[in-house]
Amino acid sequence: MRALDAGDRFVVTRNGVAVAELLPVQRRRFVPTGMLLKTTVALARVRADRFFADLERHLDQRLSHG
């Protein structure tokens, strides 16, 4: 348990075959609303129409190549 607290991960095996992974729970970190708002103001504006057009173009390329 101390190793997990320190961030170590463990693979559980059965007959030499990995069957599970034991890892520390990721703790949630509180972010004050003011900090969140300051961060979002600095982000680039996203135009939904261009975003979805780019996404569709990317997916079309992946589907046509295999």
Domain ranges of the chain: 2-64
pTM of the model: 0.40
pLDDT of residue 29: 84
pLDDT of residue 38: 86
pLDDT of residue 19: 96
Tokens found for residue 6: 């320190």
Give me the residues paired with residue 60 across strands: none
pLDDT of residue 11: 96
Tokens found for residue 12: 């559980």
pLDDT of residue 64: 67
For the chain of 66 residues, list the mean pLDDT of each consecutive stretch of 10: 92 95 89 87 85 87 65
User: Can you say whether residue 15 is alpha, beta or left, with left for phi > 0 and alpha for psi between -120 and 50 degrees?
Assistant: left
Nearest to 11 by CA among 3, 2, 23: 23
pLDDT of residue 66: 56
State the DSSP code for 19.
E
Residue type, 42: A
